[in-house]
Structure 1
Amino acid sequence: MMGHQQVEQAALFYEFSLERHVPANHFLRSIDRFVELGELRRELSAFYSTIGRPSIAPELMIRMLLVGYCFGIRSERRLCEEVHLNLAYRWFCRLGLDGDVPDHSTFSKNRHGRFRESDLLRRLFETILRRCINEGLVGGEGFAVDASLIRADANRQNGVEGEKGLPPEAASRAINEYLGVLDDAAFGAATEIVPKFISPADPAARWTGAHGGQAFFAYSTNYLIDVEHAIIVDVEPTTAIRQAEVLAAKRMIERTAKSFALHPSKLLGDSAYGSAEMLSWLVDEQGIEPHVTVFDKSARKDGTFSREDFNYDQTKDVYICPGGKTLTTTGTRVNDGDTLLYRASKADCSACALRARCCPSTPARKVPRSIHEHARDMARQIARSWQGRTSRRLRKKVEMLFAHLKRILKLDRLRLRGPNGAHDEFLLAATAQNLRKLAKLIPMPQPKPA
């Protein structure tokens, strides 16, 4: 017989506890152990007035933002609805059953005001990172660096030609931020090349076709991670070009050393960081082993000898060609002072039996050599060793974090516009990823038996 649901009169009193309702193994319980916001509140107090009506507690907004980024809730309007309905979210945000959830517009007002003025999100990221260091999850010996493109909140069909520039009547917060970073080497000053298209909605976003499909407007998120447990030790937004990504790597290494006294012995990276200047900076200025793929285009495709076919004698500072002749340099630097040219004599090349394979169209062969070639040679030597092979495998941990960022945290497209918006989203996402890593690697304490 089909049963019937009993319709009972509502009870006058209920006994309900959020603390007992949230399971002991819930993810939010795992990360709640590491969210300590007392110091952040003290730093933020200078940005609030001492009189007037009390504001919404900044701890509440920070905890709500952490919920949103940990669970991939991209909309702040939807986040407010979820926190209102979900009991576990209420417990984590310290709202209880009757606490009021702030309006979604509150986040925008604080983000454009106090949060950015105080650099609160950077402080939040560093607070969680410091906890990772204290828990022994950061070895500090080997770092890996990489960048990934994140689509901007800009319609590719509404772009205007870069040579024409923005219309004079255009004005918005994103445009003001774009004008403010024109001299920043990570954005406007990263290259003199005018982009093909500019988005009026977000001019700082770079038009790029790096993925091989349709071009789109994007920013780059740059990660510096410790390879032991893939903890993100720094994050930096830049425009989506290689020069800016290299600059971001330098900034992150220097900032990590200054803020946390972390000096890695080696840096892992792909060929984007394998320029001669970058490798020299790592070796000569930072004392870091470059476990980086060398960016080298010296190989020839016409069948003639490439630079690697010439042996360099460091003691005599000369090259020896395949025919046994010597190439010397006058010491004059070319290409903005970064390159020396080593030349063979015309007499040697004219009488050489290998001329057709060496310099068939020129009177004598010349070989360029960077003034930073010693650092490139060091990187090549490391790449051929077993340590280099291990490093190429370990640096994939950065790519795994980017995959997690886009597929799990849903940050494959930005919701905020402008460089500041990218800065806020990337910092919050990196903070959420470190919190998830803490929850995974540090087990919950076992309850004591009665």
Structure 2
Amino acid sequence: MRGADTFTESLFLMKRLDDFVPAGHPLRAIREMVNKALVAMDGLFADMYEADIKGGRPSVAPEKLLRAMLLQVLYSVRSERMLMEQIQYNMLFRWFVGLAMDDAVWVPTVFTKNRQRLIAHDAVVELFNQIVAQADERQLLSGEHFSVDGTLIQAWAGHKSFVPKDRQDGDDSDGSNFRNQQRSNETHESKTDGDARLYRKGKTASELRFMGHTLTDNRNGLVVNAMVTQADGYAEREAAKAMINDVRQSHEEETTLTLGADKGYDAQEFINALQQMNVLPHVAQNKSGRKSAVPDAVADSEGYAMSREKRKRIEQGFGWAKTVGHMRQVLVRGLEKVDQMFVLTMAAYNLTRLRTLGQVRLQGAR
């Protein structure tokens, strides 16, 4: 018998948001890990809002803001305005953020007003570190064997914004007519994003870009450090030295670490810096018309071959960040904000990896 096309609502509905989320939904495991990290950050949040104790309206809880920002990455929501719209009627999003069904959704400008506060207190970096700490607690990290690489991030600025630095006040040139002109980062800058740099790599065209860098642990390909720099020919090696040095500080001096990288890192200065830090340079040898800086004794070792095989996993994080996390062309401007979004995206990537690794372990136990 055909059912009637009617719509009748009950006056009262005795259900919680949790009842609408399936028991096996992927966000359940992620939310549990995020909440554990946020609890550990309670002291940081208290310091962030210490100046507001004397008075004023209560601000949006930073825990809710960070959960909402993670949702934007995980579900590829292209704008904060659209994210607020989704949270308004999407019960799954409300449940993850921590808003009840009848709670009002804040306006999109809340993100703009609070982003700088989160940057000033390194809240996103601390969230990233807490998630890495959880991976370490689960013994998912080797702690000694790493890979490093960089990727180009297109800035939210176009060629028309790239104008001469010495242009006079009142000059309304929009930079659109640049044919047959010599342009460089020394003489020109973007009036849209002053931190972006005109850069090309390989066969790619010159674009206004930043450069994102990650350091991954070889055991399961989890990102243990991430950062964004201005794009230039030395950024990858300088960022690699900074990230592996951070790891070096947490180990005893006699512990030997390994670092895998592609041929672009095969430079004598970089190899020497690694050796001074007691890090074995498992860098791919570049012998194209030159002598490699990587010692043959290192390149012939069994560990070197393993590092080269594991190094491929680092590309998975970049691919995920650019297809899911909207990092192919970033949607914020300024080095600090781009860095914040890149680190947050890598934190979201780690969460998805940890969820998957947890499921694999559970199935193996069965």
Q: Tell me the TM-score range normalised by the shorter chain.
A: 0.7 to 0.9
Which residue matches 1:136?
139
- Where structure 2 has 5 or more consecutive residues not aligned to the other structure, the ranges are 172-183
Residues 148 and 6 of structure 1, relative CA distance in 2, 3 Å threshold: same
1:269-348 pair list within 5 angstroms: 269-283=261-275, 285-295=276-286, 298-299=289-290
Pair 1:155-2:155 in alignment: no
Q: Which amino acid aligns with 1:6?
A: T
How far does the alpha carbon of each residue in 1:79-131 deviate from its partner, in whole angstroms, 9 at most, with x for none? 1111122111111111121122211101111112x212211111111111111
Q: Helix, strand or coil for the counterpart of 1:290?
A: strand
Contact 2:185-2:197 at 8 Å conserved across structures: no
Q: Helix, strand or coil for the counterpart of 1:202?
A: coil
Pair 1:106-2:110 in alignment: yes
Contact 1:148-1:220 at 8 Å conserved across structures: yes
Contact 1:275-1:294 at 8 Å conserved across structures: no
Q: Distance in 2 between matches of 1:71 and 1:60?
A: 16
Which residue matches 2:205?
214
Pair 1:5-2:9 in alignment: no
Q: Helix, strand or coil for the counterpart of 1:443?
A: helix
Which residue matches 2:224?
233
Q: Helix, strand or coil for the counterpart of 1:12?
A: coil
Q: Which amino acid aligns with 1:39?
A: A
Pair 1:397-2:313 in alignment: yes
Q: Which amino acid aligns with 1:266?
A: T
Q: Distance in 1 between matches of 2:160 and 2:332?
A: 19
Which residue matches 2:240?
249
Residues 26 and 42 of structure 1, relative CA distance in 2, 3 Å threshold: same
How many Å apart are 1:393 and its aligned residue?
2.2
Which residue matches 2:47?
46
- Where structure 1 has 5 or more consecutive residues not aligned to the other structure, the ranges are 171-192, 300-307, 309-372
How many Å apart are 1:46 and its aligned residue?
2.3
Contact 1:142-1:264 at 8 Å conserved across structures: no
Q: Helix, strand or coil for the counterpart of 1:148?
A: strand
Aligned residues: 344
Contact 1:148-1:221 at 8 Å conserved across structures: yes
Residues 297 and 211 of structure 1, relative CA distance in 2, 3 Å threshold: closer
Which residue matches 2:27?
28
Q: Which amino acid aligns with 1:151?
A: Q
Q: Which amino acid aligns with 1:120?
A: A
Q: Which amino acid aligns with 1:275?
A: A
Residues 2 and 108 of structure 1, relative CA distance in 2, 3 Å threshold: same
Q: Helix, strand or coil for the counterpart of 1:242?
A: coil
Pair 1:121-2:124 in alignment: yes
Q: Which amino acid aligns with 2:262?
A: D
How far does the alpha carbon of each residue in 1:209-233 deviate from its partner, in whole angstroms, 9 at most, with x for none? 2152432111010000001101101
Residues 291 and 213 of structure 1, relative CA distance in 2, 3 Å threshold: closer
How many Å apart are 1:391 and its aligned residue?
2.3
Contact 1:195-1:207 at 8 Å conserved across structures: no
How many Å apart are 1:76 and its aligned residue?
1.0
TM-score (norm 1): 0.71
How many Å apart are 1:261 and its aligned residue?
7.3
1:388-427 pair list within 5 angstroms: 388-427=304-343
- Greater helix content: 2
What's the C-alpha RMSD, in Å, of the aligned pairs?
2.6
Residues 422 and 241 of structure 1, relative CA distance in 2, 3 Å threshold: same
TM-score (norm 2): 0.86
Contact 1:41-1:58 at 8 Å conserved across structures: no
Residues 7 and 144 of structure 1, relative CA distance in 2, 3 Å threshold: closer
